[in-house]
Amino acid sequence: MENYYPIVIIGSGVAGLYGALQFDERYKVLIISKRNAELSNSSLAQGGIAAVLDGSDDNIELHIKDTMIAGKYKNNPEAVRVLVSEGGKDVIRLKELGVDFDLDSNGELLKTLEAGHSRNRIVHHKDFTGKAVTDRLIELVRERKNIDFIENTHVFSVDKAENGFYIGMLKDGNIETVACSYCILATGGIGRVYKYTTNSAIATGDGIAFAKKLGAKIMHLDRIQFHPTAFAGEQGRERFLISEAVRGEGAVLLNCYGERFAFNYDERGELAPRDVVSEAIIKESMRTNSENFYLDITHKDPEFIKARFPMIYENCLAEGIDITVEKIPVFPCQHYLMGGIDVDLYARTSVDRLYATGECSHTGVHGANRLASNSLLEALVFSRRAATDIMDKLTKDCSIVKGSMPKYSMGHIVLPTGIRTEIRTTLQDSYFVIKKAEKFEESFQRFNTILENLENTDYILNSAYIEAKSLATVAQEIMLEVTGRKQQEDY
Ligand SMILES: Cc1cc2nc3c(=O)[nH]c(=O)nc-3n(C[C@H](O)[C@H](O)[C@H](O)COP(=O)(O)OP(=O)(O)OC[C@H]3O[C@@H](n4cnc5c(N)ncnc54)[C@H](O)[C@@H]3O)c2cc1C
């Protein structure tokens, strides 16, 4: 690692990796990942990537319409048009880069259907598309001479300098600092602020906390997607997903009496958008006074199920459920953040030289609710756009980063246990699928107190402390939104 890079990207999910690969080889890029390269929400993505491709019965207007309907027309129409009209090319680019998508006998990309889509437009690699994409992008990034990639290095601060930033990070227990002209936050989601989530352990909203500290505009953190069908076993915080594609292939949702009920809440039944199905389950749960729900795909050919959903089949089997002959226990779970660090069509935040891409950003494409498989697409399209914009600026910009380097301290007080658990429980109790207004004020005050304590106590600088601060910042932001303390805008 050098002590200066024109571009630093924080995050090695699809947004960080694909963005880094867009930079011309004459620009040095540093990617920082707080855990190993493979641990990200990107590598967990199952269903696939939505894209309008040539030679199908699909078209851009249909994908835009589906995206706007799912988003309850709270989407930024301009951003949606960019996403949909440019996304196909990025998907083809991934194929050219060697991502092993499932193909038909003519070598064309196979496309499947997912909830909320009016056409088959989801390209995939079996049911572990995210892993197929990230594994290949990681390989490519490692081959590139202009990209340095450091793992297990936790960024704890991004500080503004003249003409750039200083990035403070914790590597092997020591503080290191690097300067950059442009910083891209690609730090992913916030799932770990909830008790139950499908998100990986890295999803603690660190980038959102850094951006907030820098004064960047943060928007709509209360726009949280709860996935209706996470596996409801005995596991801990991270719940694996029974993807929409299982319902797309005909699985039905049953209540505790073994009755189908989704059509009682929406005419699209099991294939309604996620928020609609999640809410249907919670309401049905209140009606039946039971949290026992199931997905049933046993009417399909067992060989088809195993070939189409090998990962889900194996994961369920490991939990004692053979999905070819047994119903799968499911319940809603935090899954995705539609809001985030507000950016424009080139992923520029409101802070000069600071960009945000992927799940930590708010481009406005998802509106009030994300259409399935639009988020990997968003990560691709807007990370490429960020890189294009930065390269354009770098050709005209030879200014050097100036200003005194911040003095970071290692701290000396041990972080008490239980803070992160308290944040999760408090949030889960006040806003999980349905907002419980009566709990908002108390939760908001509690998050303020926790954050104040974290910011003003000389706690030892380690990952637990960094993430506790991020979680408290995110929880506080969510409460600012739900209590109406923030100005509400559509997008
Ligand atoms: C189970 C599951 C299934 C999904 N399925 C689909 C799907 O089928 N289709 C779809 O479109 N979307 C899907 N999604 C959503 C999608 O995967 C994510 O929105 C997307 O991958 C986010 O990519 P990202 O690059 O923004 O973040 P991530 O892939 O989460 O990467 C974040 C990166 O930031 C790093 N990082 C974070 N904080 C720091 C820090 N402080 N210092 C250093 N590094 C840091 C992390 O280590 C990680 O490398 C799914 C999500 C989940 C959880």
- Residue with the smallest CA separation from ligand 1 atom 38 is 187
- Tell me how far the alpha carbon of residue 41 lies from the centroid of ligand 1, in angstroms: 3
- Tell me how far the alpha carbon of residue 189 lies from the centroid of ligand 1, in angstroms: 6
Mutational test site, ligand 1, from 156, 376, 377, 384, max ligand atoms within 8 Å of CB: 376
pLDDT given at position 403: 87
pLDDT given at position 345: 98
Cβ count within 10 A of residue 15: 34
- Tell me how far the alpha carbon of residue 192 lies from the centroid of ligand 1, in angstroms: 12
Q: Is the pLDDT of residue 245 over 90?
A: no
Quick: pLDDT tens for 156-178.
999 999 999 999 999 999 999 99
Work out the average pLDDT over 253-258: 97
Name the percent of the chain lying above pLDDT 70: 99
- Residue with the smallest CA separation from ligand 1 atom 11 is 373
pLDDT given at position 235: 63
pLDDT given at position 50: 97
Phi then psi for 253, rounded to 5 degrees? -100, 130
Q: Is the pLDDT of residue 240 over 90?
A: no
- Tell me how far the alpha carbon of residue 40 lies from the centroid of ligand 1, in angstroms: 5
- Residue with the smallest CA separation from ligand 1 atom 4 is 45
pLDDT given at position 431: 94
Q: What confidence tier does 213 reach under pLDDT thresholds 50, 70, 90? A: very high
Partners of 191 in the β-ladder: none
DSSP 3-state of 164 = strand
Please give the structure tokens belonging to residue 449: 């107190």
Is residue 356 a contact partner of residue 186, using CB atoms and an 8 Å limit? yes
Q: What confidence tier does 114 reach under pLDDT thresholds 50, 70, 90? A: confident
Mutational test site, ligand 1, from 35, 40, 338, max ligand atoms within 8 Å of CB: 40
**Number of residues written out for the chain:** 491
Cβ count within 10 A of residue 449: 11
Mind giving me the DSSP string for 95-135? Answer: HHTT----B-TTSPBPEE--TT-SS--EE-STT-HHHHHHH
Burial 158-171 (b: 16+ CB within 10 A, else e): bbbbebbbbbbbbe
Q: Is the pLDDT of residue 122 over 70?
A: yes
Rounded to 5°, angle at Cα 365 from 102 and 14: 45
pLDDT given at position 449: 98
* Ligand 1 atom closest to the CA of 41, numbered from 1: 30
pLDDT given at position 273: 79
Does the predicted model carry a pTM greater than 0.75? Answer: yes
* Ligand 1 atom closest to the CA of 360, numbered from 1: 26
pLDDT given at position 127: 84
Q: Which has more confidence, 491 or 364?
A: 364
- The C-alpha atoms of residue 389 and residue 394 are separated, in whole angstroms, by 9
Q: Which has more confidence, 381 or 488?
A: 381
Quick: pLDDT tens for 304-336.
999 989 989 999 999 999 999 999 999 999 999
Domain ranges of the chain: 4-223+338-396, 231-335, 419-482
pLDDT given at position 486: 87
For domain 4-223+338-396, the CATH architecture is 3-Layer(bba) Sandwich (3.50)
* Ligand 1 atom closest to the CA of 50, numbered from 1: 11
Residues with CB under 6 A from ligand 1: 10-16, 32-35, 40-42, 44-49, 129-130, 154-155, 186-189, 198-199, 202-203, 206-207, 241, 336, 358-359, 373-376, 379
Q: Considering 274, 348, 370, 420, which one is annotated as catalytic?
A: 274
Q: Is 424 part of the annotated catalytic residue set? A: no
Least confident of 59-63, 83-87, 396-400: 396-400
Q: Which residues contact 418 (CB under 8 A, 6 or more apart)?
A: none
CA distances from 40 to 44, 235, 283 (A): 7, 19, 32
Work out the average pLDDT over 14-40: 97
Is residue 330 a contact partner of residue 229, using CB atoms and an 8 Å limit? yes
- The kind and range of the H/E element at 439 are helix 437-456
- Tell me how far the alpha carbon of residue 455 lies from the centroid of ligand 1, in angstroms: 26
For domain 231-335, the CATH architecture is Alpha-Beta Complex (3.90)
Q: Mean pLDDT, the chain, as a whole number?
A: 95
Quick: pLDDT tens for 65-94.
999 999 999 999 999 999 999 999 999 999
Q: Is the pLDDT of residue 236 over 70?
A: no
Please give the structure tokens belonging to residue 168: 């403070």
- Tell me how far the alpha carbon of residue 249 lies from the centroid of ligand 1, in angstroms: 25
Quick: pLDDT tens for 334-388.
999 999 999 999 999 999 999 999 999 999 999 999 998 999 999 999 999 999 9
- Parallel, antiparallel, or unpaired: how do β-strands 340-342 and 361-362 relate? parallel
Work out the average pLDDT over 183-202: 95
Closest alpha carbon to 225 in 443, 108, 374, 80: 374
Mutational test site, ligand 1, from 165, 169, 202, max ligand atoms within 8 Å of CB: 202
Q: What confidence tier does 237 reach under pLDDT thresholds 50, 70, 90? A: low
Q: What confidence tier does 244 reach under pLDDT thresholds 50, 70, 90? A: confident
Q: What confidence tier does 196 reach under pLDDT thresholds 50, 70, 90? A: confident
- The C-alpha atoms of residue 456 and residue 466 are separated, in whole angstroms, by 13
Closest alpha carbon to 190 in 378, 437, 420: 420
Partners of 128 in the β-ladder: none
- Tell me how far the alpha carbon of residue 324 lies from the centroid of ligand 1, in angstroms: 30
Name the percent of the chain lying above pLDDT 90: 87
- The C-alpha atoms of residue 231 and residue 312 are separated, in whole angstroms, by 10
Work out the average pLDDT over 147-164: 98
